[in-house]
Amino acid sequence: MADLPVNQYNPDVLSCLANLSNDEVFTPPELVNQMLDRLPESLWCNPDTRFLDPVCKSGVFLREIAKRLIAGLAQEIPDLQARLNHIFTKQLYGIAITELTALLSRRSVYCAKNADSPLSVCEGFDDAAGNILYRRIEHTWQNGRCSDCGASEEVYGRDSEALENHAYAFIHGAWAKQIWNKEMKFDVIIGNPPYQLSDGGAQASAKPIYHKFIQQAKKLNPDYLIMITPSRWFAGGKGLDEFRDEMLNDKRLAEIHDFPNSSDCFSGVEIKGGVNYFLWQKDHQSDAGCLISTYENGQMVSQMRRPLKEQGVDVFVRYNEAIGILRKVLAKKEKVFSDLVSSRKPFGLTTDVKGNPNPYTNAQNVLLYQNGGTAYIKREMVKANTAWIDSCKVIMPYAVGSGDSKTDWVKPIYAGKNSACTETYLVVGPFDNEQICRNVMSYINTRFFHFMLTLKKNTQHATKRAYEYVPMQDFSQSWTDKALYEKYGLTKAEIAYIERMVKPNTELEND
């Protein structure tokens, strides 16, 4: 065979796959190996260790594990074919999420879509599936929801077996007995679970599902559990509050590797709030806390071993450098800005409520702030908090940016008397006069305010709860970053960190 030109690149096929969807993302081999590097080297030399990927998509986790075992067991099992047979039949196991990914995974791991094929690198299987299995599992419906995963019967209750029902075997029923028909101890469980399922709500609403794979894996009591997930669980939220508390109180959580920008892991995929992978270790009980590493543009930019929970804080603060600033703010024991922020739909008006571009005749008109501008609505149409109509107030968008603290600026609007808004906005206030509103807006327009907001907000939505770590101020005066930095005694390094994390609002600078 002629030598290939030096500059001819033969890419890894698993680096070139298009993703199934934004919630079922193929894991690049480089990221897989970074995750595997967190495991002890001794695992690769032990012929008795068992590895399970319960959510096989491309087979990349099992393939990369196989490479390490092939090298690590060379002395233990010198004959290459005997070594391959042992590794693939006794050490590597997978559960595919679909029939298609089962075939893809077998092709990646065994080099053949059928494990018993003459083309397979393993000669130890007598069936096509090998140890990478797929079996169609059905949801168990109770009151319109699956009792195992919470899927909506309206969305996933399909009669046709030709349609994917997203009933993942690992989290449905007694999976071990259903699939392998025997109890099996796994030393390492590793994977990239599906992230969410449509829940049948409005506007393509979806609910998280990845936490159920983590909870199920823990029940199997492995020595090590390592998975990559969205980072939204850091702050809890939809369906994740109990899971967040469970994770933050689990002393076996040894490491978290955090990527605030998901494209650092998955090129071309936007996962709001970023992603992380964690290492859960059964014998890790260190009082020193968890090793937190943060990455930007492919490089580690921060690392610290610290407790997962700060005193008085119910979420995970993802940024190591933020801890000192947060502690200084909490030491003041001030009230929180969220006390001034309304819940969703402050006036009981949904986004599909549209006002009239011109005032109504013979009616009490209220200026309505809605998506895309302002219009007029009859006072009698306002369903909640009618007393606020005639008060001075500030309104803020409910959806703010993409979850990127560097660029997500809250843009406050002064809403005077005789005004209301749809659920596009939240209300701050009400207040006695316009000047207080302007002072509140000066505070919202600081980088300090946005930095404190990002400690809890890591998605597009900024609910009332997102403002719980933003401290309250005296709004008889206006505020600047300089005054706030001095008030909280921030060091030059802390100020520089805030100003690196929150880019200037160019609209304010151009005013």
Find the distance separating the first CA and the last CA of the chain, reported in whole Å: 68
The bridge status of strand 253-259 relative to strand 206-208 is unpaired
| Token pair of 423 as six digits | 């659920």
Q: Is residue 176 part of a domain?
A: yes
Q: Is residue 97 part of a domain?
A: yes
Residues paired with residue 342 on neighbouring β-strands, in sequence order: none
Q: Are residues 192 and 277 in the same domain?
A: no
pLDDT at 8: 43
Q: Are residues 102 and 241 in the same domain?
A: no
Cβ atoms of residues 26 and 17 within 8 Å? yes
Q: Are residues 62 and 129 in the same domain?
A: yes
Which of 320, 346, 363 is the last residue before a domain boundary?
A: 320
From the list 203, 130, 136, 205, the residue with the least C-alpha distance to 172 is 136
278 phi and psi angles, rounded to 5 deg = -125, 155
Q: Are residues 116 and 245 in the same domain?
A: no
From the list 321, 322, 291, 285, the residue with the least C-alpha distance to 305 is 291
Q: Are residues 390 and 446 in the same domain?
A: yes
Across 231-245, b (16+ Cβ under 10 Å) vs e yields bbbbbbbebbeebbe
pLDDT at 10: 47
> Which residues constitute the domain of residue 247?
223-320
CB-CB neighbours of 375 under 10 Å: 19
Q: Is residue 286 part of a domain?
A: yes
Q: If 0-12 CB within 10 Å is exposed, 13-18 middle and 19+ buried, where does residue 110 land? A: buried
User: Under DSSP, is residue 369 helix (H, G, I), strand (E, B) or coil?
Assistant: strand
Helices (H), 360-403: none
Q: Which residue has the tokens 């700060």?
A: 310
Read off the pTM: 0.85
From the list 352, 414, 422, the residue with the least C-alpha distance to 382 is 422
Q: Compute CA 21 distance to the chain's CA centroid, rounded to the nearest angstrom.
A: 15
Q: For residues 154 and 113, what is the distance between their CA atoms, to the nearest angstrom? A: 34
Which of 196, 220, 244 is the last residue before a domain boundary?
A: 220
* CATH number of the domain bearing residue 456: 3.90.220
Q: For residues 14 and 8, what is the distance between their CA atoms, to the nearest angstrom? A: 18
Q: Are residues 111 and 211 in the same domain?
A: yes
From the list 300, 374, 336, 372, the residue with the least C-alpha distance to 471 is 336
Tens-digit pLDDT profile for residues 138-176: 888 999 898 888 888 888 887 766 677 888 889 987 654
From the list 486, 456, 458, the residue with the least C-alpha distance to 473 is 486
pLDDT at 158: 73
Q: Is residue 233 part of a domain?
A: yes
pLDDT at 402: 62
Which of 261, 293, 320 is the last residue before a domain boundary?
A: 320
Q: Is residue 4 part of a domain?
A: no
Q: Is residue 472 part of a domain?
A: yes
pLDDT at 16: 47
Q: Are residues 63 and 195 in the same domain?
A: yes
Q: Are residues 229 and 350 in the same domain?
A: no
Q: Is residue 247 part of a domain?
A: yes
Q: Are residues 171 and 278 in the same domain?
A: no
Low pLDDT (below 70) residues in the chain: 1-24, 160-162, 174-183, 199-205, 401-405, 460, 506-511
Q: Is residue 6 part of a domain?
A: no
Q: Which long-range contacts (CB under 8 A, 24 or more apart) does 306-314 make?
A: 308/247, 308/248, 308/249, 308/253, 309/248, 309/249, 313/469, 314/236, 314/245
Q: Are residues 358 and 504 in the same domain?
A: yes
Number of domains in the chain: 3
Q: Are residues 356 and 233 in the same domain?
A: no
Q: Are residues 496 and 356 in the same domain?
A: yes
H or E, element range at 178: helix 175-179
